[in-house]
Structure 1
Amino acid sequence: MATTTNGGDEAHPAQPTGPSLNVLAQYVKDFSFENPNAPRSLMQAPKQPQIGVQINVNSQAMSATEFEVELKLEGKAELDGNTLFGFDLLYAGVFRLQNIPQENLPPLLMIECPRLLFPFAREIIGNAVVHGGYPPLLLDPIDFVSLYQQKVASMQAQQPTTA
């Protein structure tokens, strides 16, 4: 740990001078896995199901430098109109962002923070699907930049224009 002295005998921790992003905590806030038609659904002929996944990212300030970022993943696998399984995961993290210009906070919170959370959320869902009796579900990587751009465009479209 870096320390500085101000001419006295006491050492004080040095304050970071450059931008920094630290993960303080990661956790499951809410998780549900449903296997409504088991065991019948597990005994069907192996065919490729239709799998749909919805992703959403939200953030909120906890203090001037600490933020909670939530990654919500909802999905369902269907085969011939019957639900095989469904999941709903709200995975979150607390991040400390220091010495970052205010205009750079939204992209960091909505792109980089969920990018750090996603591999852990993906593993939780993959394990639940396997433990539900199905072959592994490997979610494709998510383009959080595109997701952020869509959210910004949607928010701009909702704002009233003034002449």
Structure 2
Amino acid sequence: MTMAENGTDTAAPQEGEQQQIQMQILAQYIRDMSFENIVAQKGLHGGEVTPEIQVQIGLDARKRPVENQYEVILKFNIESKNKDSEDKMFLMEIEYGGIFHVAGVPEDQLHPFLLIECPRHLFPYVRRIVADATHDGGFPQLNLEPVDFVQLYRQQAAAQQQAAAQSAQA
């Protein structure tokens, strides 16, 4: 390994060395979002409310036409109900996307990388948007719990395998 005068490494990777993984967020955006305040629409009046929040998360990733670029989408469906009466209080749906430059990831590890590592970088922004939207919608700020994207990826992979097995039997 040699160092140039400016201190950077000028040697090429030796055979057998792994190429360094590169990931860069090129863009982030809200692809779709809706917030429905059912309490206000129906003219319901408060009283004692015990909210129950259900959050469903979906992930999607696609190759873009440009080399090493991928679009990753996080989909959140959030529903709040009054635990006692089962009355819905609000519904929120958000699809948040990111365009990533990803290089150096082996082909067999690219899919999990896109659906685990990329969402980890997008999640704090989605969390903030959800918190602001619920607060601006007249409810206490909803701070989403951290998401274990490894576990979520495993659950989605198992569900896809199960669906494929069922369709093969049919």
| TM-score, structure 2 normalization | 0.79
**Residue in structure 2 matched with residue 140 of structure 1 by the alignment:** 145
The one of 56, 59, 62 equivalent to 1:60 is 62
Distance 2:148 2:20 in 1: 27
Question: Which amino acid is 2:92 matched to?
Answer: F
Distance 1:99 1:136 in 2: 39
Q: Name structure 2 gaps, 5 residues minimum.
A: 5-11, 14-18
The one of 46, 49, 74 equivalent to 1:47 is 49
Q: Which structure features the higher share of strand residues?
A: 1
The one of 50, 54, 69 equivalent to 2:72 is 69
Q: How many pairs does the alignment contain? A: 148
**Residue in structure 1 matched with residue 103 of structure 2 by the alignment:** 98
The one of 155, 158, 170 equivalent to 1:150 is 155
**Residue in structure 1 matched with residue 8 of structure 2 by the alignment:** none
Give identity over the alignment, percent.
36
| TM-score, structure 1 normalization | 0.82
The one of 70, 87, 90 equivalent to 2:92 is 87
Question: Which amino acid is 2:46 matched to?
Answer: Q
Q: Cα deviation per residue 1:52-105 (whole Å; 9 max; x = unaligned)?
A: 110000000003310000000001111122211110000000001112210111
**Residue in structure 2 matched with residue 78 of structure 1 by the alignment:** 81
Q: Name structure 1 gaps, 5 residues minimum.
A: 5-14
Asked if residue 37 in structure 1 is aligned to residue 39 in structure 2, the reply is yes
Shift of 1:129: 0.5
Partner of 1:138, secondary structure, is coil
Shift of 1:26: 0.5
Distance 1:127 1:76 in 2: 16
Distance 1:137 1:22 in 2: 29
After the TM superposition, list the runs of 4 or more consecutive aligned residues in structure 1 that deviate by more than 6 angstroms. none
